[in-house]
Amino acid sequence: METKATEISTLGEFGLIDRLTKDIKLNNESSLRGVGDDCAVMHYPDTEVLASTDLLLEGVHFDLTYMPLKHLGYKAAVVNFSDIYAMNGTPRQITVSLGISKRFTVEHIDKLYSGIKLACEIYGVDLVGGDTTASRQGLVISITCIGDAPKDKIVYRDGAKDTDLICVSGDLGAAYMGLQLLEREKAASADKPDFVPEFGGKEYIIERQLKPEARKDIIAELDKAGIVPTSMMDISDGLSSELLHICHQSHTGCRVYEDRIPIDYQTAIMAEELNMNLVTAAMNGGEDYELLFTVPLYLHDKVKELPGVKIIGHMTKEELGCAMITRDGESEIPIKAQGWNHMAPTSTTE
């Protein structure tokens, strides 16, 4: 039985906000006051405050043809949490602002918020405010995440040193391959109302694209091992781009080894099926939301024992540049930023 669609105009802005936030409870001690006043109130007496924000536009950052609204809400929240973890911090609060076009009903926004709330519940983050407005360009989502970290444990991009080890969590390229699969099936479904997409055996790469996870577990493992990385980023725009960011800001070069880049079996199968270069996808695909970090060489044995972490190379002197050593160990390929370009005319992943 279909649920009746409720036009947002019947609730109005404040009615919609009340509906979306009525069951929200605050869990962090730093969250003194959340939704319901002119500002949220937060208290951080003995720690450094971290803040990150993301703007997501329909047709640029997501496609509702294959992105369920609940998954979109979850992903929009999690990618912001990932930025805080990438500073070795803990996300505590988010604010959510929406631009909503007339084609969306109250029930649509309920689904979006159910994903946001689920992410907050899983990661222990409080939703403390936001805004809503009308949009003529489809759905617009803006999320700001606030977190904290002890001053002596915050990790920046500019702390890497020559000989530091380069490490990554998880595996790379899966989210990009998932996107290629979704786009392929979308194209194949055109003008075919009874079309059934072929996703069998590829559930992992689909989930990596539609429902990524922030690596809270890796931050916990680093803390447990007493390791504070010298630099760190999350891999949102592609490994090559993130490596170059760290090298540029740390004034170093780097060498990564092709045969050490972690790639899942489903990612490899999909790349072969689409006749795409697997390593290029892993280096440049983006949206993996894994952690890229560096540690001093003397921590090699410690970091090697961390679950879900792989050493893929080392930092060098700046004048040596940035390169990937090929699988045969005989050639070096310069690393170039070919991942997601937010300001590209076509706004696509290259």
Contact 250/161 with Cβ under 8 angstroms?
Answer: yes
Domain ranges of the chain: 8-153, 165-334
Task: Give dist(CA 19, CA 35) in Å, integer.
Answer: 12
The mean pLDDT value for 276-293 works out to: 95
Is the model's pLDDT at 20 over the cut of 80?
A: no
Strand partners for 292: 168, 233
Is the model's pLDDT at 289 over the cut of 90?
A: yes
Residue 340 binned pLDDT confidence (cut-offs 50, 70, 90): very low
Task: Give dist(CA 293, CA 86) in Å, integer.
Answer: 9
Residue with tokens 């076509």: 346
Strand partners for 204: none
Contact 247/322 with Cβ under 8 angstroms?
Answer: yes
Give the model's pLDDT for residue 349: 35
Task: Give dist(CA 303, CA 295) in Å, integer.
Answer: 8
Among 43-57, 64-78, 175-189, the range scoring the smallest mean pLDDT is: 43-57
Burial of 322 by CB count in 10 Å (0-12 exposed, 13-18 middle, 19+ buried)? buried
Give me the percent of the chain exceeding a pLDDT of 70.
88
The mean pLDDT value for 271-285 works out to: 94
Task: Note the CATH architecture for domain 8-153.
Answer: 2-Layer Sandwich (3.30)
Strand partners for 334: 323
Give the model's pLDDT for residue 346: 43
Q: Say how far residue 277 (Cα) sits from the centre of its chain.
A: 23
Q: Are strands 90-100 and 126-134 parallel, antiparallel or unpaired?
A: parallel
CATH superfamily to which 165-334 belongs: PurM-like C-terminal domain (3.90.650.10)
Is the model's pLDDT at 195 over the cut of 90?
A: no
Among 31-35, 94-98, 312-316, the range scoring the smallest mean pLDDT is: 31-35
Task: Give dist(CA 10, CA 78) in Å, integer.
Answer: 31
Task: Give dist(CA 4, CA 158) in Å, integer.
Answer: 53
Among 43-52, 137-146, 224-233, the range scoring the smallest mean pLDDT is: 43-52
Residue 337 binned pLDDT confidence (cut-offs 50, 70, 90): confident
pLDDT in tens, 84-116: 999 999 999 999 999 999 999 999 999 999 999
Give the model's pLDDT for residue 193: 83
The mean pLDDT value for 207-225 works out to: 98
Among 21-35, 112-126, 207-221, the range scoring the smallest mean pLDDT is: 21-35
Alpha helices (H) along 58-164? 69-85, 106-123
Higher pLDDT among residues 197 and 219, named by residue: 219
3-state helix, strand, coil in the chain (%, to 5): 35, 25, 40
Task: Give dist(CA 325, CA 256) in Å, integer.
Answer: 6
Q: Are strands 231-234 and 291-295 parallel, antiparallel or unpaired?
A: antiparallel
Is the model's pLDDT at 139 over the cut of 60?
A: yes
Crossing angle between the packed helical segments 216-224 and 69-85, to the nearest 10 degrees = 30
Give the model's pLDDT for residue 17: 61
Give the model's pLDDT for residue 24: 64
Contacts for 201 with CB less than 8 Å, ≥ 6 apart: 266, 269
Task: Give dist(CA 334, CA 323) in Å, integer.
Answer: 4
